[in-house]
Amino acid sequence: MFEIIDNGGPVMIPLLFCSLLTLTVIIERCIFWAGIELRRNRRLLDEVLELCRIGDWSAVREQTAGSRDHVIRVLISGILHREFSMVRAMEAAAVEELKRMRRFMGVLDTMITVAPLLGIFGTVLGIIASFEVLGTAGLEEPHLVTAGVAQALITTATGLGIAILSVFPYNYFNSRIEQAAQIMEKYATSLEIVYEKLEAKGEIP
């Protein structure tokens, strides 16, 4: 590995930094989403909606006390502000949850773009070095020329490798964010409908 970095030239240093940064973000996001999944409580969500149907808000507060489920947090935000604007409260809470979910996604997106560009930059430097050697030494020392070509190929391969390996987790995390947004919207809409029914019947305590 150290030999590859040495043969790749100076551009391998920022590429190494990009790879470490990308790996760190991927690991952090994997841990984050694993935690999200562990904190999900679908049974409690159904219980909350059922309690809302009968307008038992105090029972909702008791049942959801200490819950770390992001969907429940959104619903509770709406319930707490039901007398003013339930929908806006849930929208604001959902925005905060999505903000947490999108954390560091910009870093991955940047690495997907920057890593290949750095690889191409290293390729250009390697080719320039090869031509300089070719111009001064001619074909008498071909190993010096091939060293520059090797540098060009190594940086290109490294940059592309970082980008390719970043695309898969990036798309996966984006799909998880989209799915989470749909779930929050689904339950928020259900709560809104339940509350409107209670309002229509005049059963809101």
Domain assignment present for 140: yes
- pLDDT grade for 137, boundaries at 50, 70 and 90: low
Query: What's the Cα-to-Cα distance from 4 to each of 13, 16, 75, 119, 144, rounded to whole Å?
Result: 11, 11, 53, 14, 16
Query: What's the Cα-to-Cα distance from 175 to each of 101, 170, 179, rounded to whole Å?
Result: 11, 9, 6
Domain assignment present for 15: yes
* Residues 6 or more apart whose Cβ sits within 8 Å of residue 194: 49, 52, 53
Instruction: Give this prediction's pTM.
Output: 0.84
Answer whether residue 24 shows pLDDT above 80.
yes
Q: Can you list the alpha helix ranges (DSSP code H) found in the chain?
A: 2-8, 12-39, 42-53, 57-64, 70-80, 86-101, 105-137, 142-201
Q: Hey, what are 68's tokens?
A: 């770390």
Domain with 98 in it: 2-200
Domain assignment present for 176: yes
What's the domain count of the chain? 1
Percentages helix, strand, coil for the chain (3-state, rounded to 5) are 85, 0, 15
Domain assignment present for 84: yes
Domain assignment present for 205: no
CA angle 29, 89, 62 (to 5 degrees): 85
Domain assignment present for 55: yes
Model confidence over 139-158: pLDDT tens digits? 566 555 566 677 778 888 99
Domain assignment present for 88: yes
Domain assignment present for 93: yes
Q: Hey, what are 34's tokens?
A: 């694993």
DSSP SS3 for 66? coil
- Calculate mean pLDDT across residues 65-76: 90
* Percentage with pLDDT > 90 across the chain: 49
